[in-house]
Each structure stands twice: as structure tokens, then as C-alpha cells.
Amino acid sequence: MAETPVTAPLQPQKSAGGASGVDSADIQGLVRFGYKHYTEAVFLLLRVREARAARAWLAGASVTSAVEMKPLPDYALQVAVTSDGLRALGVSADIIDGFSQEFLDGMAGDPSRARRLGDEGPSDPKYWIWGGGDRVPHCAVLLYALPGGLEARRLAVEAQCAAGFDLLQRLGTTDMGGKEPFGFTDGISQPLLDWDLAQPASDRTQLEYANLSCLGEFLLGYPNEYGLYTPRPLLDPSRDAQGVLPRAAESPERADLGRNGSYLVFRQLRQDVSGFWRALDRYAGGNAGERDRLAAAMVGRTRTGQPIVDPSSVNLNDFTYGADPEGIRCPLGAHIRRANPRNADLPAGAPGILSRLIRTLGFDASARSRDLMSSTRYHRLLRRGREYGTAVSIDQALAGAATPAEVGLHFMCLNANLQRQFEFVQNAWIMSNRFNGLHDESDPLLGNRMPGPGATPSDGFSMPQSDGPAGRLTAVPQFVTVTGGAYFFLPGIRALRFLASA
Ligand code: HEM
């Protein structure tokens, strides 16, 4: 489906949302907040058993909006649906068809997608606990609570849902104090959303890497970084007789089912914490300092979050890789360099008008080769994951403790275009063993170590040096296994009520 150009200067709709016209009351809070104060969380994956009762619950569920509230309510509740869920709720096929193809197909819907996402070998959807075969959830209820408040709330929500839904999976989470299970500080780098719609709709002058993203990269119904509207179901208003839905900004004669909604990628990623630290200890010959150095090289940050490309970076996020084109300070294949290469429309190079002109016109061959990756502004992800299971310390891992069956990351991210954002990052940057001129290696944390096209290996890891051949790790084991996953639509709150009345 082609994206719709902005036909008129951006005129955000007038609404309850304040000066910018963004209606925070219609947006689910997860888009705006990481819910860090809610240290407890549980994710309920549901399947519709009785559509009428399921719709009745969705119509009345007290979904938390993106309006800032003080004091903080005791809990937050978010609701998302899969395309199977929309069908099970009885939403008309022609309306569902307006969503993106990736969402319609589902994360595990076809072997070619599974291969592109790296869901092969032990991560094959046929082994998943949920998300594969007949275990695709219809609805996800994400429940967050202040310390001590989750259990009572969960029991209440489960009781309310019981009439319409079967509980497919209850996914608990663990507060690991801001660290992911390998022990690294997580949640540092996030795109900054242009909530004020202050950024020009298609900013051709923004050539350097910047962290501000157009709202349309994460919310449907607003212009994205191309200055276009991402396709979504736009309905004849006769389908919305009650006038529940907002109107489409670019075609006000249509009711907009997508506006203020986002796609939610949810993957359960099991982490072999003991395997990770024992492998690094082997590579380091038992030297603790070297072990830490290798681990930081794989992530691109130290365990406390310092970016290794610029350890002096004060706010931990104010850096690019422009001064390290060879990957000497931070390996080209480090997890955070793959997941966000921080490059821009203009290849990096010397300052000055002449140099800039040469690079803009594409005459600088070395700059061109550095710019083989697409500009990152079109491939940002808003991460909202939570850790789960039993934490294992490095000491426990090295002392021989086995990784518990249950430990890892409930990876979640929001994006407006599953193909251009999540799938691109996962496939072309994280899993690819040809990323950025590399070969024989994929993401050191996430790679499935399966041979790539032409049976090329993907289990190496290279660390270029300024004064000699690159340091190289070989036969890196698999540390992360996918055990579940699905694509959800996190609707705007009005859209959720509309779907519930379908
Ligand atoms: C178990 C799996 C994973 C682990 C342990 C992990 C760990 C980390 C860590 C430690 C950071 C640095 C802290 C930060 O900047 O927030 C990070 C950043 C990041 N990760 Fe992951 N991650 C995992 C899965 C993924 C997946 C599946 C994706 C996307 C498909 C992803 C995308 C990113 C992105 C976009 C960043 C920020 C990069 C930047 O802007 O500098 N991660 N991850």
C-alpha cells in the first residue's frame, strides 16, 4: 500500500489535546510513557471465546491514556489486538484489510518472514510457547502497577475478562532495577517524539543524525519522516454512524481507525545468561577485566551504560559513530551500533562547505561506502520491554549455575510501519551477516548463528584495532532464543471503542 502524501500544510485536528492538537486523551499511555514508576507488570494474552462478551469488556475497559496525571494512578492498563483478534471480535473483513500486510500476516504467519526475522532453529515458531500455530493471542492486556499493587488488580481484570476470553498465557515480569538479564543498563536510548508537531512535515534540511522523530513514525494518522501518512483503515463515515472515530487529517471526509494508534511488536526472548558470561570468560582466558571489555564491545556500552565510542558522553546518549568509521572504538557489529547506526542523510565527513557539497553530490567514494546503510531516521523503534524470570549474577553464572528455564526480555517496541521499522532493523541490521560491510557475523547478543546466504557463517565477532589485525571471536554461541511473539495493533482509545462495537 502506498503512503499518502501530505496534500496540505499540516493542520492538526482541533481536539482536547492542547495547543498542538495532539489528543493525548485518545492515545494509550504506553506511547508516551515507559511506566518506569510502575515497577510491577503482567501481560495477559487472551483468546476470544465469546465475541459479544469480549466486545463488552473492551467497550468499557478503563484504558489509561497519554494524559499526564498527578498523582500517578495506582495502575495503568493498555489493550492491544492482533489481526486474528480483530477477526475473532467480528470486525468486517474489508475494515481489517486496511491494516498493513505484516500485521495481517502475523509475526509467525509465514516461513519466509520467520527466516527474515531470524526465527529459525531453536527460535522457530513451531517451538514457541505462544504466538505460533493455534496459540496466536487475540488480545494483549498490559497491566502495570505501583509496588505491591499488581496482584489484586490482575485478579480483578482476569475476573472481568473471564466471560469473553480464555487466558492463553500470563506473562509475569521481574523488576531487575533497570538492568536487562545479562546485567547491562537498559532503556537508555529512545527516540524523542515530536509531540508538538513542531518539526516540518518532511525536513529535507535535517541531514545530520538527530534524535527527534516525527510523530507519524510512531502514531498512525500523523505525517512521518517522509512527510507522508502511513496507510491505515480509513472508513466511509457511514460505517461509524455514532461518530466515534476521529477524522483523517489528510482526508477529513474519512473516519480514521488508525489515528492515535500504533503497531506493537511483542517478542519473548529467553536469555542464556550463564552461557553468555561463561563464553565471555572463556574468550577472556578467565581475566575479569578482559571479560568486561569483550562484553562491552558486544553491546556497545559498558554495563553501567557508558557508550564505548565516547566514554565521556555526559547524558549517555549524545554521540554518533561519525568519528569512528572503522569501528575501532566501538565495533561496527556491536548490538547498539547495529540497532541504531546513528547515521544520517549526509554521510559523515570533514566540516566545511566544500566537503559537504562533495558528500551531498555523492562524489566522495569513502563517504558513500560509509553510507551503505539507510539513514536511521526512517528506522527508529520506541522500546517498551520488560525483563522476566529469575536474575542470575555474573558470579553465579561463572560458578556454574545453570540458566533458569525462565529468564529474558519481553521485548516490545512501537512503530507505525512494521516493515520499514521493526522488520528492517531486525532483518537488515541485527540478523544480517552482511551489515555495514561485515561478513561472517550477526548481532553478538541476538544472532541465531545460522549460516547466511551461500552458507556463510554468522557466528563470528570482529573488533577492529588501530595497530594491527582485527581482534576476532569465533564460534560465538547463541545467547537469545525467541519463545513467543506476535504483532499487535495498539489502537487509539476511540478506535478501541469503535472496534468493540463492531
Ligand atoms: C534479549 C534481547 C536484547 C537485549 C539483552 C538487548 C540489550 C540492549 C542493551 C543493553 C541496550 C543498550 C541500552 C539502551 O540504549 O537502552 C540496547 C539498546 C537497543 N536495542 Fe537491544 N536488546 C535486546 C533485543 C533487541 C531487539 C530485538 C531489538 C530490535 C529489533 C533491539 C533494539 C535496540 C535498540 C534500537 C537500542 C538502542 C540503540 C541506540 O539507539 O543506541 N534490542 N539493547
Cβ atoms of 394 and 281 closer than 8 Å: no
Where the chain has pLDDT below 70, the residues are: 1-20, 201-206, 345-374
> Does any ligand 1 atom lie closer than 6 A to the CB of residue 271?
yes
At which residue does the C-alpha cell 502506498 appear? 2
Task: Annotate 134-162 with b (16+ C-beta within 10 A) or e (fewer).
Answer: ebbbbbbbbbbbbeebbeebbeebbeebe
> Does any ligand 1 atom lie closer than 6 A to the CB of residue 462?
no
> Does any ligand 1 atom lie closer than 6 A to the CB of residue 425?
yes
- What's residue 453's pLDDT? 78
Nearest CA, atom 12, ligand 1 = 186
> Does any ligand 1 atom lie closer than 6 A to the CB of residue 294?
no
> Does any ligand 1 atom lie closer than 6 A to the CB of residue 319?
no
What is the C-alpha separation between 331 and 253, in angstroms, rounded?
A: 51
User: CB-based contacts of 294: which residues, under 8 Å, 6+ apart?
Assistant: 280, 283, 284, 473
- What's residue 9's pLDDT? 37
> Does any ligand 1 atom lie closer than 6 A to the CB of residue 309?
no
> Does any ligand 1 atom lie closer than 6 A to the CB of residue 448?
no
- What's residue 371's pLDDT? 44
Ligand 1 centroid to residue 336 C-alpha, Å: 6
- What's residue 400's pLDDT? 87
- What's residue 370's pLDDT? 47
SS3 60: helix
- φ, ψ of residue 266 to 5 degrees: the values are -130, 120
- φ, ψ of residue 397 to 5 degrees: the values are -60, -45
> Does any ligand 1 atom lie closer than 6 A to the CB of residue 186?
yes
Query: Hey, which of 445, 448, 482 would you mutate to test ligand 1's pocket, going by the most ligand atoms within 8 Å of its Cβ?
Result: 445
Ligand 1 centroid to residue 294 C-alpha, Å: 17
What is the C-alpha separation between 28 and 15, in angstroms, rounded?
A: 16
What is the C-alpha separation between 450 and 447, in angstroms, rounded?
A: 8
Query: Hey, which of 117, 213, 335 would you mutate to test ligand 1's pocket, going by the most ligand atoms within 8 Å of its Cβ?
Result: 335
- What's residue 17's pLDDT? 41
Residue-wise pLDDT for 174-196, tens only, equals 999 999 999 999 999 999 999 99
Ligand 1 centroid to residue 339 C-alpha, Å: 7
- What's residue 416's pLDDT? 98
**CA 180 to ligand 1: nearest atom:** 5
- What's residue 3's pLDDT? 67
**CA 408 to ligand 1: nearest atom:** 1
Nearest CA, atom 14, ligand 1 = 188
CB atoms within 10 A of CB 115: 14
- What's residue 403's pLDDT? 82
- pTM, two decimal places: 0.93
Nearest CA, atom 42, ligand 1 = 339
Ligand 1 centroid to residue 281 C-alpha, Å: 22
> Does any ligand 1 atom lie closer than 6 A to the CB of residue 182?
yes
> Does any ligand 1 atom lie closer than 6 A to the CB of residue 339?
yes
For the chain, the straight-line distance linking the first and the last C-alpha, in angstroms and rounded, comes to 24
- What's residue 502's pLDDT? 73
> Does any ligand 1 atom lie closer than 6 A to the CB of residue 479?
no
Residue-wise pLDDT for 269-321, tens only, equals 999 999 999 999 999 999 999 999 999 999 999 999 999 999 998 889 999 99
Query: Hey, which of 303, 383, 419 would you mutate to test ligand 1's pocket, going by the most ligand atoms within 8 Å of its Cβ?
Result: 383
Ligand 1 centroid to residue 75 C-alpha, Å: 26
Return the C-alpha cell found at 382. Answer: 520506541
> Does any ligand 1 atom lie closer than 6 A to the CB of residue 381?
yes
> Does any ligand 1 atom lie closer than 6 A to the CB of residue 411?
yes
Nearest CA, atom 9, ligand 1 = 186
